Structure 1
Amino acid sequence: MTTRRRAALVTATAALLSAALAVPAVAAPRPGTGHDATRRALHATVADGVPGVTATARDAHGTWSATAGVGDLSTGRPRSADDHYRVGSIAKTFVATVVLQLEAEGRLSLDDTVDRWLPGLVRGNGHDGTRITLRQLLNHTSGIANYTADEEFGRRYFTADGFFAHRFDTMPPRQAVAIALRHRPDFAPGTSWNYSNTNYVLAGLVIEKATGRPYGEEVRRRVVQPLGLGSTSVPGTRADLPRPSSRAYSKLAETTSGPTYDVTRINPSIAYAAGEMISGSDDLTRFYTALLRGRLLPPRQLAEMTTTVPMDDRTEYGLGLMKTRLSCGVTVWGHGGGIHGSTSEAVTTRDGRHALAFNFNGDWSGDVEAVVEAEFCRE
């Protein structure tokens, strides 16, 4: 991905973990108007090296979907507007929503410490769960080290040799926390900001402790089923994607050159609540629209979610939700994410009237910000 800190963040999230195309094919667009700039941006991502892209937008004119490039490099099969794909850290918004629902029900408080729910788990090497709140987990101000930035983790899951040896391993969430605790904290709790997937692994464990049920079951019961999100799932250890879907590709290296590997099948437990979920572009636009319109959270909790801390000069982070000011002055809310072979973005305006979600089935190139700018700054 390109474009300064915003892209760097999404790339890091995509590294949930990290690190000759066919002629582009375009799906017949669904009803909608005014998306020519977005269509050009989709084609530009393919020209930049992404195998294929699928996108859906919702606005006052209805729903519009388009694709470019291919979903399978070996056959040339085009991408589908109905593709399922791994959404990576977009899952964080779903998880934060569940935590905030539990707060609204009086079952926990954002001011609770991590140690209140997970006694003794976050302790050692400078970490202290008695000084970290649930709010600090959700807005990445906890200072807890990011387990996916661990060098050994990177070698195991983001190099070709390591990936193909370990792609089907199951990683329990407490193991991910233990990896993070090998490192010193990034900063004292509440004194700065740094993106850490460990925060949301812990948030998933808190949901399970507070409810007595797997966090994925709570996501399904509280968000997926009420909104009728038929393409959205929490796969656990399931390695395959539901159909329809495209293949997912990675270089499994820090460079954009070299071999391209098919990394579609993977046990996503290495991401757990930080990014294991699967969804589709239509579902994601409906989710973020419903969320920002207040269908999932009471006003107080939505206000908490949209209370932000600065990331850079254009982007702020709330509770599982990013706020980004575009070059044309429009502000969008949402999240980006990625995992092996998959880079995704989903955003909407604060009133929920204009939403966009899209996915690249490659993780080494493509300009996410350019697609978002094309859609929301088109007038």
Structure 2
Amino acid sequence: MQNRRATAATAVAVVVLTAGALAGSAQAASTGAGGRHEPTQRALDAAVRDGVPGVVARVRDGHRVWRGTAGVGDRNTGRPRTPVDRFRIASITKTFVSTVLLQLESEGRLDLDDTVEEWLPGVVRGHGNDGAKTTVRQLLNHTSGIFDYIQDEEYVGKLFGKGFLRHRYDTWTPEQLVALAMEHRPDFAPGAGWKYSNTGYVLAGMVIEKVTGHSYADAIEQRVIAPLGLRATTLPGTDVTMPRPSGRAYSKLFLDDGPVYDVTELNPSAAGASGSMISDAADLNRFYSALLGGELLPPAQLKEMKTVVPNQSQDPQNGYGLGIEGVRLPCGVVVWGHAGDIHGSHADGYSTADGRHSLAVNFNGDWAGDAGRIIEAEFCGG
């Protein structure tokens, strides 16, 4: 929980925590049961002391809601972060994509054990890649072995370090991103291991388009966003701007040391179906509560989603399912959700298995802070 997983337009390595706090005083806003969430607020304040410009969190616990903030949303003006700020949710997008594919499976429109070749003929091919031996399920649970395109040298040169400043507005097509991955041999044979790969979700988005005749963005809008009334959740495509209300987003461009840049504007097509979405904390609470509460998937598909592949430990409750991960916290509580990183934003959305207690968190900086501390404080207390 404390490590930031590499996602499209993110650093390949784990972000190193820094100690220098940025300008701006900590501020908090809460409604209901404030004392119960004091450890969570302290963890938000600690993130700002660690160097995060600003942080926002929202908790939904049954019928009770708590909101907390710390730090600033704009380093120049000192504007504080607000509970209604929108932000880039990066790889949390993967849970939305997986939800749509599981819905399509429940309708009999595809089988997750279909091969990628059946839906995307000739796309996964070359340098040892074989779509005829790779299933849609393996794309979703990161057992495909397909190389993660964000580690490609060309992509790294354009999106990390100062290359980002020259290429932040470039448009990337899904076909371009997959082609980068196909220039590399797979990390292992399909099903023979586990390794996080954003390429799998770009391909998953392409599969949705083949099955439905609509883009993955339209499918998510029609099947998830509209039914749940997620008013702050959008799929921006190639739009580089952030919708209001939102603060600014800051990055050191994934260098160990260096100046802080305002990276609020960027072309999210560099992440595509692996991580392009925008949302806010209230919508993430609603989404994960609805998903885990059985509003979006039949029981059989929700069980499939929560069937995990161990990725960091042998604890059967710790692992990656289909666009969602299960995590057993030190206090024994198991939460389900996803984290996401993109330039200037780290986001988390987690909930208990019944969907009743959910937490959403966002940092508007990508080089500091410990979101795991916030998650443990909320679900474990103290």
TM over 0.5: yes
**Residue type matched to 2:24 in 1?**
V
- 1:14: how far off? 6.5
Using the alignment, how far apart are the partners of 1:23 and 1:271 within structure 2? 31
User: What does residue range 310-321 of structure 1 map to in structure 2 within 5 Å?
Assistant: 310-313=310-313, 315-321=318-324
- 1:353: how far off? 1.3
Aligned to 1:72: 74
Aligned residues: 371
Secondary structure of residue in 1 paired with 2:133: coil
Using the alignment, how far apart are the partners of 2:92 and 2:49 within structure 1? 25
CA contact (8 A) 1:14 1:343 kept: no
374, 379, 382: which is aligned to 1:376?
379
Aligned to 1:3: none
- 1:16: how far off? 4.0
- For residues 148-187 of structure 1, the C-alpha deviation after alignment (integer angstroms, 9 at most, x for no partner) is 1112211111112x11111111100010001011111010
Aligned to 2:155: 153
CA contact (8 A) 2:89 2:345 kept: yes
Aligned to 2:326: 323
Aligned to 1:206: 207
TM-score, normalisation: structure 2: 0.95
Using the alignment, how far apart are the partners of 2:125 and 2:11 within structure 1? 23
Asked if residue 173 in structure 1 is aligned to residue 174 in structure 2, the reply is yes
User: What does residue range 71-150 of structure 1 map to in structure 2 within 5 Å?
Assistant: 71-150=73-152
Aligned to 1:366: 369
Runs (4+) off by over 3 Å = 14-20
- 1:327: how far off? 0.4
TM-score, normalisation: structure 1: 0.95
CA contact (8 A) 2:8 2:270 kept: no
CA contact (8 A) 2:26 2:45 kept: no
Distance 1:23 1:36, change over 3 A: same
Distance 1:345 1:14, change over 3 A: farther
- 1:17: how far off? 5.8
Identity %: 59
Secondary structure of residue in 2 paired with 1:308: coil
Superposed CA RMSD in Å reads: 1.3
**Residue type matched to 1:336 in 2?**
A
**Residue type matched to 1:331 in 2?**
V
Distance 1:267 1:175, change over 3 A: same
Secondary structure of residue in 1 paired with 2:6: helix
Aligned to 2:267: 267
Aligned to 1:237: 238
Mean Cα displacement is larger for which, 18-27 or 311-320? 18-27
- 1:15: how far off? 4.4
**Residue type matched to 1:353 in 2?**
R
Asked if residue 341 in structure 1 is aligned to residue 335 in structure 2, the reply is no
Aligned to 1:308: 308
Using the alignment, how far apart are the partners of 1:140 and 1:60 within structure 2? 33
CA contact (8 A) 1:52 1:67 kept: yes
**Residue type matched to 2:368 in 1?**
S
Q: Runs of 5+ in structure 1 lacking a partner?
A: 1-5
Using the alignment, how far apart are the partners of 1:192 and 1:152 within structure 2? 26
Using the alignment, how far apart are the partners of 1:11 and 1:189 within structure 2? 21
**Residue type matched to 1:264 in 2?**
T
**Residue type matched to 1:246 in 2?**
G
